[in-house]
Amino acid sequence: MSDFEVETNMEEYLSLGRNKLVEMYHTMVLIRRFEEASAKAYSMQKISGFLHLYIGQEAVAVGSVAATREDDYLITAYRDHGHAIAKGTDPKLLMSELYGKYNGTSKGKGGSMHFFNAAKNMLGGHAIVGGQIPLGTGIAFKIKYKEEDRICLTFMGDAAMNQGSFHESLNLAALWKLPVVYIVENNMYGMGTAVDRASAVTELYKRGCSYGIEGMVADGMNVFSVYDAIKEAAKKARELSLPTLLELRTYRYRGHSMSDPDSIYRTKQEVEEEKRRDPIEQMKKFLLAEKIATQKEIDGVEAEVKKAVAECVEFAENSPEPPLESMYDDIYV
Ligand SMILES: Cc1ncc(C[n+]2csc(CCOP(=O)(O)OP(=O)(O)O)c2C)c(N)n1
Ligand SMILES: [Mg+2]
């Protein structure tokens, strides 16, 4: 799967227009460089708490957001940097959040695992595995109850499907016909446990069948495969108010979190092999082959992103710490 070939819907991708296609590429590069910078800051102890990197999975968030509307909701787990950026959150405010600064998206109290941007309909960032699945289902219930023309993209990891909350949610979503798309980012591992050691059925998209929920599977390393699959599932959610279980096969290049050495449960060769499907490289090839962008423009994106990320770091470094008086603000007890 190292060579990128778009077999379907070429006309539709091209009809997205040059600006949109370059913007999608730009966002994937931004997510990756943002995370590389955050890993560096983490190793310098500028960022504390947990940090789960999305590197390798960028096509999932970018393709999903490109195929839906701005007012559609999105909710995900703790590996949330890509989703927040794809939903249009200012990366400076996100870097500040990682640094625990007062101008961060959650005033520095949420950190990496709790990126939120309600104004852009990005409703987290949730640290409890599977915790966001009933919440996403509830959002879809609210959409239906209020007769809104929107849907909810509910993301989860492969391991989250083994939580009871997954099954309770899918049952109700099917029973009540809710406008939700459940998206499993199958990156092949839950921490250090491979999917085939944790799930009796490894074709994860099939696991909705006991609730009568249609399953779909697509290549999560290819932004256009993601785009196509989400488009179809979103249409079904919006027009028929029916849920879908969509498995996107992807891969994380880094360890589970910054504290995971990842040498015990997988080999270096496996990681290198997966990198040959790199989502950014695939889209770059497409843009060049279709003459949508020149090499100079591609280099320009890289330079622009490099500058923007350096500005994020500088912004976060120079931002104020939360004042001591704010310690008990926004506490839910
Ligand atoms: C309820 C609960 N149990 C256990 C954990 C510890 N934990 C954090 S991440 C994780 C693995 C989740 O893997 P997956 O859902 O595949 O997502 P990925 O990290 O691969 O994106 C576990 C077990 C947790 N955060 N919450
Ligand atoms: Mg996983």
CB of residue 158 inside a 6 A radius of ligand 1: yes
From CA 38, how far away is CA 45, in angstroms rounded? 10
From CA 221, how far away is CA 152, in angstroms rounded? 22
Closest residue by Cα to residue 180 from 127, 233, 226? 233
Whether the CB-CB separation of 288 and 67 falls below 8 Å is answered with no
Residue 145 Cα to ligand 2 midpoint, Å, equals 32
Residue 158 Cα to ligand 1 midpoint, Å, equals 9
Overall residue count recorded for the chain in this entry: 333
Residue 79: both structure tokens together: 């590996």
What are the boundaries of each domain within the chain?
10-319
Please identify which residue in the block is written with the tokens 């809104």: 148
> Model pTM?
0.96
Residue 126 Cα to ligand 2 midpoint, Å, equals 15
Which atom of ligand 1 is nearest the CA belonging to 127?
Answer: 25
Burial (CB < 10 A; 0-12, 13-18, 19+), residue 39, is: middle
Amino acid at 264: I
Closest protein CA for atom 18 of ligand 1: 157
CB of residue 79 inside a 6 A radius of ligand 1: yes
Residue 219 Cα to ligand 2 midpoint, Å, equals 15
Whether the CB-CB separation of 265 and 189 falls below 8 Å is answered with yes
Residues less than 5 Å from ion ligand 2, measured at CB: 157-158, 187, 190
Amino acid at 122: M
CB of residue 191 inside a 6 A radius of ligand 1: yes
Q: Which superfamily does CATH assign the domain made up of 10-319 to?
A: Thiamin diphosphate (ThDP)-binding fold, Pyr/PP domains (3.40.50.970)
Q: How far is CA 126 from the centre of its chain?
A: 12
CB of residue 310 inside a 6 A radius of ligand 1: no
Q: How far is CA 105 from the centre of its chain?
A: 17
Cα angle 97, 139, 118 (rounded to 5 degrees) comes to 30
Closest protein CA for atom 13 of ligand 1: 190
Residue 191 Cα to ligand 1 midpoint, Å, equals 6
Give one DSSP letter per residue of 267-298, joined into a string. Answer: -HHHHHHHHTT-HHHHHHHHHHHTTSS-HHHH
Which atom of ligand 1 is nearest the CA belonging to 129?
Answer: 26
Give all strands (DSSP E) within 174-272, no chain letters: 180-186, 189-190, 193-194, 214-219, 244-249
Q: What is the pLDDT along the chain (333 residues), one digit of tens a residue?
A: 333 344 567 788 888 999 999 999 999 999 999 999 999 999 999 999 999 999 999 999 999 999 999 999 999 999 999 999 999 999 999 999 999 999 999 999 999 999 999 999 999 999 999 999 999 999 999 999 999 999 999 999 999 999 999 999 999 999 999 999 999 999 999 999 999 999 999 999 999 999 999 999 999 999 999 999 999 999 999 999 999 999 999 999 999 999 998 889 999 999 999 999 999 999 999 999 999 999 999 999 999 999 999 999 999 999 999 999 999 999 887
Residue 125 Cα to ligand 1 midpoint, Å, equals 13
Residue 155: both structure tokens together: 């993301």
